[in-house]
Structure 1
Amino acid sequence: MDEDAPPTKKPREILRHPAFAFFWTATTLRAFGSTIAGVAFQVLIVTVIAATPAQVGILNALSVVPYLFLGLVVGAWMDRGRRQRTLVVTTIGRALVLAVVPILVLTGVLDFWSVAAITLALGVLTLFGDSAAQPLLPRLVPRSSLPAANARLGQSQTVAQTAGPAIGGALLAIVGAPILFVVDAVIAAIAAVLQSRISVSEAKAPPRAAGRHVGHEIAQGMRYTYRHPRLRPLAISIHVWFLGNSIVATAFVVFALRELALPAWAYGVALALGGVGGFVGAVVAPGLGVRLGAGRAILLGRVLVVLPWAVLAFVPLRPDSGIGVILAVVAAAQFVYGLAMGIEDTNDISYRQSVAPDRIQGRMNSTIRTVNRSVFFVGALLAGVLMTSLGLPVTLGIGAGLFVLAALVIALSPLRGARHDSSSRS
């Protein structure tokens, strides 16, 4: 799809765009496969290799490490390479890596080091796949349809995250962990076939000037992102949001299960309500983006996300408050949390994709994503220190305060008045 094609007055249903239909279907299948296999991974880590808490932390860190070391380089490559081809190759690679897991399990050679290698390999493949997918989307649909396209992707992602673990748990009880990895490998193979069917015209990057190398291109992407009058506050706000989110996400599970003594089933119900909120947010996000404008829709999401964590931090809940009261408050908080993310994610990503020229999409996205992962990594470690020294409610309150700061960055910047249909591509 030509990026300069004029938008129609009445855009057709986004899934009627054949290229996007293949893209969405493949992305949805991969999301379900990942969440289903995630259950099997957790079981293997705990029961088969009996990982220690330190080893679990190492495995979690390995999934982020590729972004820290390769994120900016891969983003620069995506502005020169074939994004669709990269998407297909990485999905095939995922299928092959997943197919190795049941072989290791059945032969009895699965151990911590092999799981670490698999986790690292999947992290690298996910990095390449994500770096290709985000800048590819604006080539598949008119830029005026990006909010609708991202909303569809957000809806299916939320459904996968909500229903996937339940499906994975049921399949795990019926067929066992090795078969779940086979299922995910087959799903990835089908997704690769669908991705190969995407019809897209990708612009060819001009030859690199003499004396220039990938480092110059990375620096150019960073300069573009942080000098742009509207992308700069958006990027800074996202980074602050990620810091706050890393703190509350790390503290919430301990707060709910230990501080409030919430039963496991009730904790699962609360998380499911978060998924429902995310789905609702993704459904209403495009309409809010049209009525309020991209900037104010993002700001609405940033403001809403403060509420659930402020409530959990300051409402005096105790284990003796009663399971009904605790579950009602925690589930409502998770619903609003998911709702806020559904609203802001769709408008945030869509605005980024619409404002940046195609030639720098990969570097702009990778710059923001790499800093986000770095911030999340630091925030998760900081959360442990805060929980130990200040307690869980105060830690959640600090997270809420960071969300307030993220909202203020938007409210006090030119981004507040930005609209999807008037995005500059300078």
Structure 2
Amino acid sequence: MKVRDHKSFVRFWTASTTSNFGTYITTIALQVLVVVNMGGSAVDVGWVSASRWLPYVLLGLIAGVLVDRFHLKTVLVVTDMGRGIIFAFICLFAVTGVLSIGWLMILLLLFGAMSLFNDAAHQSFVPQLVPRPLLTRAYARLEQSAAVAETSGPAIGGGLVSWIGAPFALLIDAVSYLFSGVLIATVKHQPSDKVKAGPLGQQIKEGLQWVYQHQYLRTLALNTHAWFFFHSMTMTVLVSFFLIELGFDASLLGFALAAAGVGAVAGTSLSSRVGERFGIGRAMAFSRILYAPAVVLITLAPAAINSDPQNIAIIFAVVGQLLYGFSMGIEGPLEMGYRQFVTPSHLQGRMNATLRSINRSAVVIGAPLGGAIADGLGFLTALSISIAGLGLCGLWFSLSTMRKAQIKEDEI
């Protein structure tokens, strides 16, 4: 049986894809809003990015326990609706001229809190829609849709920002969240047993023990935390690097960022086959090795601008983004499928929230740090540090026991 035969999953897949398109439009709109409309610096971009993820630091482990206690569909619907309303307010405040970096950070804190609960519920909801043997393929479909959104979303976002302005482009994302919430409300599923309420500390401890004492999840978690730190530095610096150092406008920025989506489409299309052929651990190790060379290619763009027309610089930026997205496309479905497969249903929310909260904690530190280094020492210095970090993550993963990980019944 194929994942497309599960109608509830198809509805969920459609809702997820819709909100993903809006999210990638927002990726452009928010950062253009900060840098262009509000005259912000790379540090401002870093702080705005960090504010979105701060709730993962403060509430992440608690969210995992709470999500395991509630009906996941309710959590998904309420948080999607809430996020749509928040982006509508950001648009309103920006248009009326009362939006400041401080207000934007406050609104994104609220957005991040809702995203935290939505993310934990979203990842835990899939096992209620498809059988476990189909999890990897289900996540591959979700990642493929996200990759398509990543491919076209930034390009559409860049065009929308140029056409209607960053504030109204954010309103598109608001509509996508509201539509997603309505569609998920119609999904029929088989809910898992809710976790009985108990001591909060004990339930958090159970989630932590499962993640950090598991033979393979421990290495996967620790390596991914480090990867997110350097990834957040890279992504924070890249936007300002493209806009300021390379002189890209919103349309060119969208084009460059969309290249990562094209790579991700290719990666997710091959992900399941690569995992089956070489093993999940080895396939993920291969992906993590590719990130550093991808960023190296992007750092070559300024040299091209100094000696050749700007379109040569765009080629370096696009090829680097393609390789970066390809790496994420390969490993994304494999990582998610593996994590969900080996984790019992009563620990799904806590496992997902534990990993996401620590990963986003790394973003809260890495994003503003990357912006500060870029402002103080230059874009290329900041990117060189992130290249070194991503390279070490790839080497560590390749030499660890995680490279032997497989989806087997005896690992549950």
By the TM > 0.5 criterion, same fold? yes
CA contact (8 A) 1:312 1:396 kept: no
- 1:322 to 2:308 alignment: yes
Write the distance in 2 (CA, Å) between the matches of 1:249 and 1:40: 15
The Cα RMSD (Å) is 3.0
CA contact (8 A) 1:386 1:395 kept: yes
**Distance change >3 Å, CA 135–CA 357, structure 1 → 2:** same
**Distance change >3 Å, CA 267–CA 173, structure 1 → 2:** closer
- 1:296 to 2:282 alignment: yes
SS at structure 2 position matched to 1:166: helix
Q: Output aligned runs, 1:363-402, within 5 Å.
A: 363-384=350-371, 386-387=373-374, 392-402=379-389
Q: Deviations over 1:154-203 (max 9, x none)?
A: 12222223322333454456666676555444433322222112222222
> How much has 1:151 moved relative to structure 2?
1.6
1:187 aligned residue (176, 183, 191)? 176
Q: Output aligned runs, 1:86-165, within 5 Å.
A: 86-101=75-90, 104=93, 108=96, 110-112=98-100, 114-165=103-154
Write the distance in 2 (CA, Å) between the matches of 1:340 and 1:199: 34
Write the distance in 2 (CA, Å) between the matches of 1:256 and 1:47: 13
> How much has 1:299 moved relative to structure 2?
0.8
**Distance change >3 Å, CA 257–CA 86, structure 1 → 2:** closer
SS at structure 1 position matched to 2:193: coil
CA contact (8 A) 2:211 2:217 kept: yes
Instruction: Between 325-334 and 295-304, report the one with greater CA deviation.
Output: 325-334
Larger Rg: 1
CA contact (8 A) 1:240 1:405 kept: no
> How much has 1:38 moved relative to structure 2?
5.3
SS at structure 2 position matched to 1:200: coil
- 1:281 to 2:306 alignment: no
CA contact (8 A) 1:76 1:214 kept: yes
4+ residue stretches of structure 1 with deviation over 6 A? none
Q: Identity rate of aligned residues, in percent?
A: 35
Aligned position for 1:26: 15
**Distance change >3 Å, CA 157–CA 322, structure 1 → 2:** same
Q: As a proportion of its length, which structure holds more helix?
A: 2
> How much has 1:328 moved relative to structure 2?
2.8
> How much has 1:420 moved relative to structure 2?
2.6
> How much has 1:379 moved relative to structure 2?
2.1
CA contact (8 A) 2:46 2:370 kept: no
Aligned position for 2:347: 360
Write the distance in 1 (CA, Å) between the matches of 2:202 and 2:225: 23
SS at structure 1 position matched to 2:194: coil
Write the distance in 2 (CA, Å) between the matches of 1:383 and 1:39: 18
- 1:244 to 2:230 alignment: yes
Q: Output aligned runs, 1:158-307, within 5 Å.
A: 158-171=147-160, 180=169, 183-209=172-198, 213-256=199-242, 261=246, 263-264=248-249, 267-307=253-293
Amino acid at match of 1:236: L
Aligned position for 1:6: none
The runs of 5 or more residues in structure 1 that have no matched partner are 1-10
- 1:351 to 2:338 alignment: yes
Write the distance in 2 (CA, Å) between the matches of 1:382 and 1:36: 25
**Distance change >3 Å, CA 358–CA 392, structure 1 → 2:** same
Instruction: Between 296-305 and 405-414, report the one with greater CA deviation.
Output: 405-414
Aligned position for 1:405: 392
Amino acid at match of 1:337: Y
Superposition TM-score, scaled by structure 2 size:
0.87
**Distance change >3 Å, CA 171–CA 137, structure 1 → 2:** same
Aligned position for 2:49: 60
Aligned position for 1:339: 326
Aligned length in residues: 408
Write the distance in 1 (CA, Å) between the matches of 2:382 and 2:238: 9
1:419 aligned residue (397, 406, 412)? 406
SS at structure 1 position matched to 2:411: coil
**Distance change >3 Å, CA 27–CA 224, structure 1 → 2:** same
Aligned position for 2:72: 83
CA contact (8 A) 2:155 2:254 kept: no
> How much has 1:92 moved relative to structure 2?
2.0
Superposition TM-score, scaled by structure 1 size:
0.84
> How much has 1:407 moved relative to structure 2?
2.4
Write the distance in 1 (CA, Å) between the matches of 2:292 and 2:231: 10
CA contact (8 A) 1:144 1:420 kept: no
CA contact (8 A) 1:95 1:189 kept: yes
> How much has 1:105 moved relative to structure 2?
6.0
Amino acid at match of 1:224: W
**Distance change >3 Å, CA 58–CA 408, structure 1 → 2:** closer
CA contact (8 A) 1:314 1:393 kept: no
Write the distance in 1 (CA, Å) between the matches of 2:295 and 2:330: 17
> How much has 1:76 moved relative to structure 2?
1.3
> How much has 1:339 moved relative to structure 2?
0.5
Write the distance in 2 (CA, Å) between the matches of 1:18 and 1:156: 16
> How much has 1:69 moved relative to structure 2?
0.7
Write the distance in 2 (CA, Å) between the matches of 1:388 and 1:45: 15
**Distance change >3 Å, CA 249–CA 168, structure 1 → 2:** closer
